Amino acid sequence: MKSKEKKIKWRWLTPFLALLMIVVGALLWVKMEGTPPRIEVAPEALSLGIHAEVMITVSDAKSGLSRVKVEILKENKAIPLLEEDFKSPGIFSKSGIREKTYTVTVEPKKLGLADGEATLRVMARDHSWRHWFHGNPGYLEKETVIDTQPPQIVVLSKFHYLNQGGTGLVVYRLTESCTKTGVRVGEHFFPGYGGQPDDPQRYVAFFALKHTQGPGTPIAVEAVDGAGNTARTGFSYHIKARRFKKDVIGLSDGFLERILPRFQSQIGGADTGPLIDRFLLVNRELREKNYQQMVQLTAESEKTQLWDGPFLRLPNSERRAGFADHRDYVYQGKKVDEQVHLGIDLAATAHAPVPAANGGKVAFAGELGIYGQTILIDHGLGIFSMYSHLSDYAVQTGQEVEKGDIIGHTGDTGLAGGDHLHFSMVIHDTFVHPLEWWDPLWIEKRITAKLMGTENG
C-alpha cells in the first residue's frame, strides 16, 4: 500500500522536476549572460579646460545596468566624479536601466587638479549573475590633458589704420595650436590663417569694417584652444570715418517692363500685378537671397595667398556708381525703396573684356539673381573679388586664374540698366571698398609690409 502511494507521488514529481529544471536552466541561461556593459565617451579627443563637459553613455542591452562609476586619475590619486547604483528590477522583470547618458562637468581647479596628463576612468556593471552575482564589468580608460591656461596671443603687426567700409589685416602669434582663432569686428568674426608663410603658430587675419562701421567699432583678436579656453586681445587701431554718396534712382514703367521678366522664375507668383510690387520683390527679397548665397560661397577660402600686388581695375573704364552709395528708388514721384550699392560700377565699351583682378581660384561662375551672370574669385585667406552683370563668362567653378586672364565680358544681365561691370571686393561675408585693393601704395604699406614684418608707419 505504502509503496503504491510513493509511486503515485513520484509520478507527479518527475514532470515537476523536469519543468523546474527547464525553468531554472532558462533562467540561468538568461541571467548568466556574459556581455559586459558598453561605455562611450565624447568628445573623441578629450582635453579638459577650466569648465569641461564630458558626455558618457553607458548601456547594457541584456541584463541592464547595476552600477556606474566615473573617476579621474592623476598622480596616483583617484578623484570620484560620479557614482550611481541601480536596483535590480527582479528576477523575472525585463525592465531596468538599459542605457543612460551623463553629462559630467569637470572643473579641474575646483577638484585640485593641476594642468597635465590625466586619465578618465569609467566603470560599469550589469545585473548578470556572473562573477558571483557581481555582474559583468565594463571598463574604459581615456587619456586626457588638463589644460586650464588660455592661449597667449601676441600681436606682431604694429600699425592698424583702417577706413570705414575698408579692409584690415592683423598678424599675430599663438603659443599653442587652437581650434578657432581670428578677429572679431563688432558682431562679425573673420578667421585667421596659420602657417603664413611657414610658421604654424604665426597667423594672419584679414577683416572688414562694414560701410556702417566707423570709429568706435570694437575689434579684437580671439583664440580658443582644444580645451575651450578662450583668449581675447585688443590692439591699437584707428578707424577713419567715411561718408558715402546719396543717389536717386528713378524707376520708369519702360525699365520695369524690360527687366522684370528676367526675374519672374526667381520671385515666383504671377507675372501680372503692379510692376512696382514685383520690382520690390526683386530689390528686397531676391537681393537678400542673393546676398545669403554669396555668404555661403565665401564661407570657405583657400588657406594660402593666391594673389600678388595690386588688384586690376577694368581697363579704360569710367566709374559710374560708387561703393556704399545710398540709393533712394523713386517711382511716379514717390520714394518706394532704399538700398546700399556695395560695389563699384565701371563702364567701358559694350561687351568689354573683363580681366581677373588678381590670381585665384573661381569660387562661382553662373547666374546670381540681381547680379546676373557673375564670377566670384577666391584669392585665398578670405579675400574674394566679384564680377557682375556679365554678358558671358569663360571660366568654371574650381578653375585657377592668373591676374589679367580674360574671364568674361561686360553686359547688362541681372538688375542692370545698361552695359557695365559691377565690381566688388569681399572679405568673407562683408563687401569692402575696392579702391584700397586697386591702390599699390595701400597694398604695399598696409598689407605687404605687415605680411613681411617690415612695417614702418
Query: Which positions touch Zn ion (CB under 5 A)?
Result: 343, 345, 422
- Spatial contact of 328 and 248, defined as CB atoms under 8 Å apart: yes
3-state secondary structure of 326: strand
Query: What b-and-e string marks burial along 207-245, b requiring 16 or more CB atoms within 10 Å of the CB?
Result: bbbbbebbeebebbbbbbbbbbbebeeebebebeeeebe
Q: Which residue lies nearer to Zn ion by CB, 130 or 420? A: 420
Which residue pairs, CB below 8 angstroms and at least 24 apart, start in 42-46? 45/226, 46/120, 46/142, 46/143, 46/144, 46/145
Q: 377 by DSSP, 3-state: which? A: strand
Least separation in angstroms between residue 367's CB and Zn ion is 16
| CB 389, min distance to Zn ion, A | 7
Give the residue from 297, 298, 304, 295 showing the smallest Cα distance to 381: 304
Give 422 or 450: the residue with its C-beta nearer to Zn ion: 422
- For Zn ion, the closer of residues 151 and 411 by Cβ is 411
If we measure between CA atoms, which residue out of 364, 359, 321, 360 comes closest to residue 341?
A: 321
Helices H, strands E: what count in the chain?
A: 8, 32
Q: What secondary structure does DSSP assign to 248-296, as a single string?
A: EEEE-HHHHHHHHHHHHHHH-S-S-S-HHHHHHIIIIIIHHHHHHHHHH
d(CA 454, CA 457): 10
Q: Least CB distance from residue 345 to Zn ion, whole Å? A: 4
CB burial readout 349-364, b (16+ within 10 A) else e: eeebebbbbbbbbbbb
Element containing residue 426 per DSSP (H, E)? strand 421-427
Bridge partners (DSSP) of residue 393 are 408
Shortest gap between Cβ of 423 and Zn ion (angstroms)?
Answer: 8
Q: Phi then psi for 131, rounded to 5 degrees?
A: 55, 45
Shortest CB 379 distance to Zn ion, Å:
21
Tell me whether residue 163 or residue 388 sits nearer to Zn ion (CB atom).
Answer: 388
- Cβ 391 to Zn ion shortest distance, Å: 15
Closer to Zn ion at the Cβ: 81 or 344? 344
Q: How far is the CB of 173 from Zn ion (least distance, A)?
A: 40
What minimum distance in Å lies between the beta carbon of 107 and Zn ion? 54
Q: Which is nearer to Zn ion, 155 or 340 (CB)?
A: 340
Beta carbon nearer to Zn ion, 82 or 321: 321
CB of residue 101 vs Zn ion: minimum separation in angstroms? Answer: 54
Q: Taking Cα atoms as reference points, which of 104, 59, 65, 66 lies closest to residue 82?
A: 104
Return the number of the residue (250 or 309) whose C-beta is nearest Zn ion: 250
User: Are 211 and 164 within 8 A, CB to CB?
Assistant: yes
The three cell numbers locating residue 101: 547618458
| Nearest residue (CB) to Zn ion, 150 versus 343 | 343
Least distance to Zn ion, CB of residue 212, Å: 19
d(CA 203, CA 172) in angstroms, rounded, equals: 5
Q: What are phi and psi of 130, to 5 degrees?
A: -65, 170
CB nearer Zn ion, residue 90 or residue 417: 417
Q: Which is closer to Zn ion, CB of 37 or CB of 434?
A: 434
Residue showing the smallest CB distance to Zn ion in the complex:
422
Nearer to Zn ion, 183 or 344 (CB): 344
Q: Are 217 and 254 in contact (CB under 8 A)?
A: no
Is residue 323 within 8 Å of residue 434, measured between CB atoms? yes
Between CA 196 and CA 381 the distance in angstroms is: 10
Q: Minimal distance in Å, beta carbon 422 to Zn ion?
A: 3
Taking the C-alpha atoms of residue 171 and residue 191, their distance in angstroms, rounded to an integer, is 12
Rounded to a whole number of angstroms, the minimum distance from the CB of residue 418 to Zn ion is: 11
